[in-house]
Amino acid sequence: MAKVQLAAGLSAGRSRMRAVVCAVEDSCLRFLGSGEAASRGWNRGRIADPEAISTSMAAAIGEAERRAGVHARGYVLGIGGEGVQGKNARGLYEFGHKREIVPEDLDYVILRATQGRLDEGRVILQVLPQDFILDGRAGYRNPRGLYCTRLEANVHLVTAPGVEHHALVSALQQAGKDVEESVFDPVAAAYAAILPEERNRGVALIDIGLQSTGVAIFDGESLLVASSLAVSSDHLTRDLAWCLRVQHGLSLSYEDAENLKRECGCAIRGLTADNSLVEVPSPDGRPPQEIPCREINEILQARAEELFHYVAGEIRRAGMDQALIEGVFLAGGGARLTGMCDMAEFILNCQARFALAVGIEDWPAELEDPAWTPAAGLAMYSARLKLDRDFERKAPGLLGLVLR
């Protein structure tokens, strides 16, 4: 194994840290091991204890590397949370005379696009080119070899709060690992689950996490919108606990409400036996009570509707509300709730399915789970860094021009 290049990713989620280690062999990616650990050190989605976060990272990485039987020197770090946002920018490069465009010109004009003013305290997480403009003619995806005197680039900048980004990078370094690159989790999940031909027809990735929901919307190879929404899986759990207390006098703990949501809940009424009764635990040794599934599902449905209405707003902002031919892919632990795909289809009026990793050899069946897709995508990014090109399921063009 000493001669095999390793590709590793770590998704720093608010609920779970998930690490994936793979081997790069003959331009293909093979799964070696995975690990997860409870994510400590957060308070309502914000960093409260960097040392605890580093300890959680080390636990997930340690489990992955023990299972893989190798030690990866560096990891691609996945970052999410409400603070991550995207914005469009444009760069300009005047040649002075007509000449052929070379790859270095594209790199330079993209760099110029990053030099605009950012909001105070923010850092650029990723630079994702959209298209190029040659002498005022727009719509060029990859203009290498063409001639012009004025080259412009439209790019999408994914930015994050500088303090939080630095804290997460430092936590991973404190865990003994180099940070190869930091990537927005929904973009990594899209890279893992969505094939180039699907991106070409218009698609969105929705990563439903504990404290935020990340959205990445693609038109062809262009990332149009990257954003984080405040509505998340946590809100469904808290709504359930609060409403049952108001309606039935039940004082559910957060853990009991989460278990009730996972085991009995549904994001849309009518998909389960709504008239069946569910036993709900009561505190202080009092006997449990029974309530209809219908009441649980009504609570969850209201918040799930709200979540996807916010997503619909982001899709409209991207101008893709009638153009998502491939629909939406759902990633993250929150996507596991029964009925989430059905609710997405109902609100967004397009096809919805789970985002599952594609293209990693020996990917285990137990990781065919939307919660693991961001970590898989981060390992794929790491492999691309090692090869300086895509592996196996090649995605040509702008996706290979991520500035790093």
Domain count, the chain: 2
pTM for the structure as a whole: 0.91
Q: What is the pLDDT of residue 26?
A: 81
DSSP, collapsed to helix, strand or coil, labels residue 369 as coil
Full residue range of the structural domain in which residue 95 is found: 85-161
Helix H or strand E segment including 246: helix 233-248
Instruction: Out of 122-126, 271-275, 287-291, pick the least confident.
Output: 271-275
Q: Which residues contact 314 (CB under 8 A, 6 or more apart)?
A: 215, 217, 225, 227, 229
Q: What is the pLDDT of residue 274?
A: 73
Q: What is the pLDDT of residue 44?
A: 85
Q: In the predicted model, is pLDDT for residue 62 greater than 50?
A: yes
Q: What is the pLDDT of residue 318?
A: 93
Same domain, yes or no: 323 and 249: yes
Q: What is the pLDDT of residue 401?
A: 33
Q: What is the pLDDT of residue 261?
A: 93
Name the burial class of residue 173, with classes exposed (0-12), middle (13-18) and buried (19+) by CB atoms within 10 angstroms of its CB. Answer: middle
Q: What is the pLDDT of residue 400?
A: 35
Same domain, yes or no: 300 and 222: yes
Q: What is the pLDDT of residue 390?
A: 56
- Cα atoms in the 13 Å half-sphere on the side-chain side of 211: 18
The Cα 135–Cα 148 span in angstroms is: 6
Q: What is the pLDDT of residue 16?
A: 96
Q: What is the pLDDT of residue 389?
A: 57
> How many CB atoms neighbour CB 43 within 10 A?
9
Q: Which residue has the tokens 């605890």?
A: 52
Instruction: Return the closest-CA partner of residue 151 out of 114, 115, 97.
Output: 97
Which of the four pLDDT bands, split at 50, 70 and 90, describes residue 403?
very low
Q: What is the pLDDT of residue 402?
A: 35
Same domain, yes or no: 336 and 201: yes
C-alpha angle 310-306-189 in degrees, rounded to nearest 5: 55
Same domain, yes or no: 97 and 201: no
Average pLDDT across the chain, whole number: 91
Q: Would you say residue 29 lies in a domain?
A: no
Q: Which residue has the tokens 């969105």?
A: 204
For 201-236, the pLDDT digits (tens) are 999 999 999 999 999 999 988 999 999 999 999 999
The Cα 208–Cα 331 span in angstroms is: 6
Q: Contact, 114 vs 91, CB < 8 A? A: yes
Question: What six digits make up the tokens of 53?
Answer: 């976060």
C-alpha angle 342-344-345 in degrees, rounded to nearest 5: 65
Which residues in 354-379 are b (16+ Cβ under 10 Å) and which e?
Answer: bbbbbbbeebeeebebbbbbbbbbbb
Q: What is the pLDDT of residue 3?
A: 65
Provide the CATH number for the domain around residue 127: 3.30.1490.110
Same domain, yes or no: 211 and 327: yes
Domain boundary, last residue among 332, 354, 376: 354
What phi, psi does 141 have (nearest 5°)? -85, -45
Which of the four pLDDT bands, split at 50, 70 and 90, describes residue 118?
confident
For 332-376, the pLDDT digits (tens) are 999 999 999 999 999 999 999 999 999 999 999 999 999 999 999
Q: In the predicted model, is pLDDT for residue 392 greater than 90?
A: no
pLDDT over 70, % of the chain: 95
Q: Would you say residue 116 lies in a domain?
A: yes
Which of the four pLDDT bands, split at 50, 70 and 90, describes residue 278?
confident
3-state SS record for 154-186: EEEEEEEEHHHHHHHHHHHHHCCCEEEEEEEHH
For 280-312, the pLDDT digits (tens) are 877 666 777 888 899 999 999 999 999 999 999
Q: Where are the beta strands (DSSP E) in 119-263?
A: 122-134, 137-140, 147-161, 178-184, 203-208, 213-219, 222-229
For 133-180, the pLDDT digits (tens) are 999 999 899 999 999 999 999 999 999 999 999 999 999 999 999 999
First to last CA, the chain: 28
DSSP β-ladder status, 289-292 and 277-280: antiparallel
Domain boundary, last residue among 137, 161, 185: 161
Q: Would you say residue 179 lies in a domain?
A: no
Provide the CATH number for the domain around residue 228: 3.30.420.40
